[in-house]
Amino acid sequence: MKIAVFNDYRIGVVDGEVLVDVTDACPQYSREWPQVFMLPFIAQFEAIRPRLTQMVERRAKTVPLSQATLHAPVLYPTKILAAPVNYRLHQKEMTGAGAVYEGMTLHTVEEYGVFLKPSSSLVGSGQIIELPLDGRRTDHEAEVGVVIGRQGRNILRDEALNYIFGYTGVMDITVRGQEDRTYRKGFDTFTPMGPYVVTADEMTAHDDIAFELTVDGVVRQKSSTRELLFDIPRLIELASYQMTLYPGDIISTGTPAGVGPLQLGNTVELVVQGVGALTLTVVQVHPSSRRGLDR
């Protein structure tokens, strides 16, 4: 299933050119705080799946995709984990002659482990990426995202796939510099995600998911998860050794070569095989709203 969060935080299953509203399949839906509903939805997914299938077949409540406002398909997870350098060619492009970190040692996920991003940085397809700092290079990073479906800690690599709910597209937007990653990667709108989560049963080739990012129609990044230094099961093993994973947690698997700066007015699109197109427009934050380490 392709699952979306849309409009006033309803949950929909993509069926052709429409979203079938399946929110009522889970009795715990709260109208007071609907943004967090995807977390129990994911946790209970196998139990409610028969009803979801029936609702999709009946198509009782539908919204045309063209008329839906999409949000990130998982909002307010307990954590977003990301791999710092997980493609060898990306490591080379960032430290070579004339590169952002020329002559420096850029450590891989094997040496640094994973890092955290705030859930407040999530944004969905059709929305915007804000450039918060004048004069600072801000790059796109195309990645495949994994959504966790079951609670687990110290998950063995051979069992890791059993903990995956689904896959999605993720952009890890990044201000270049020497500040901590949380600062440079944690601004609002700096984790575009979507457009949907595709359940794991429909994405069996986890070790060869192709993806491509374009800026204004020009290809900037193109790769596959087969090029990962730490593959998806190994990332789950690594992350769960450090911290408990919960349903809805997101692991962003790392970016390949081709990262580059974003400019005001750019249209950025990430297409992940089997998932769809995550598309956003780049805007500038008004100067009066900027604070902190701006320079």
The 3-class secondary structure across 208-233, one letter per residue, is: HCEEEEEECCEEEEEEEHHHCCCCHH
Greater model confidence, 64 or 288? 64
Please indicate, yes or no, whether residues 14 and 100 belong to a single structural domain of this protein: no
Regarding whether 260 and 133 lie in a shared domain, the answer is: yes
∠ CA 22-24-28, rounded to 5°: 125
pLDDT given at position 295: 46
Mean pLDDT, range 131-152, rounded to an integer: 96
Question: Does position 200 have pLDDT exceeding 50, yes or no?
Answer: yes
Sequence length of the chain is: 295
* Together in a domain, 85 and 52: no
The amino acid present at 51, given as its one-letter code, is R
CB 90, CB 108: distance < 8 Å:
no
pLDDT-derived band at 126 (thresholds 50, 70, 90) equals very high
Residues 135, 24 share a domain: no
Last residue of a domain, one of 14, 42, 67: 67
Per-residue pLDDT of 158-199, as tens digits, reads: 999 999 999 999 999 999 988 888 999 999 999 999 999 999
User: Is 47 domain-assigned?
Assistant: yes
Q: Which domain holds residue 40?
A: 2-67
Does residue 73 lie within any of the structural domains?
Answer: no
Does one domain contain both 8 and 138?
A: no
| pLDDT at residue 105 in the model | 63
Last residue in a domain, options 42, 67, 92? 67
Closest Cα to residue 162, out of 254, 47, 46? Answer: 46
Q: What is the pLDDT of residues 82-121, one digit of tens each?
A: 998 898 775 566 555 665 555 566 667 778 889 999 999 9
Would 177 be classed as within a structural domain?
A: yes
- End-to-end Cα, the chain, rounded Å: 45
What's the CA dihedral at 193, 268, 189, 153 to 10 degrees? 30
Is residue 278 included in any domain, yes or no?
A: yes
| Co-location of 133 and 222 in the same domain | yes
Inside any domain, residue 105? yes
Has residue 181 been placed in a domain?
Answer: yes
Q: Is the pLDDT of residue 264 over 70?
A: yes
Domain membership flag for residue 72? no
14, 54: one domain:
yes
Burial class (CB in 10 A: 0-12, 13-18, 19+), 268: buried
Residue at a domain's end among 67, 93, 109: 67
Residue 63 sits in the same domain as residue 94:
no
What are the tens digits of pLDDT across the range 266-278? 999 999 999 999 9
pLDDT at 220 over 60: yes
Query: What is the domain-level CATH number for residue 94?
Result: 3.90.850.10
What CA–CA distances, in Å, run from 200 to 11, 148, 208, 224? Answer: 18, 10, 14, 17
Q: Which residue, among 276, 282, 293, has the nearest Cα to 2 in the 3D structure?
A: 276
**In the predicted model, what is the mean pLDDT of residues 40-60?**
96
Pick the closest to residue 269 from 226, 223, 219, 227 (CA basis).
219
Instruction: Determine, yes or no, domain membership for 30.
Output: yes
Task: List b or e across 132-149, with b for residues whose CB sees 16 or more CB atoms inside 10 angstroms.
Answer: bbeebebbbbbbbbbbbb
Instruction: Please indicate, yes or no, whether residues 33 and 161 belong to a single structural domain of this protein.
Output: no
Do 224 and 245 share a domain, yes or no? yes
pLDDT at 56: 97
Give the number of domains in the chain.
2
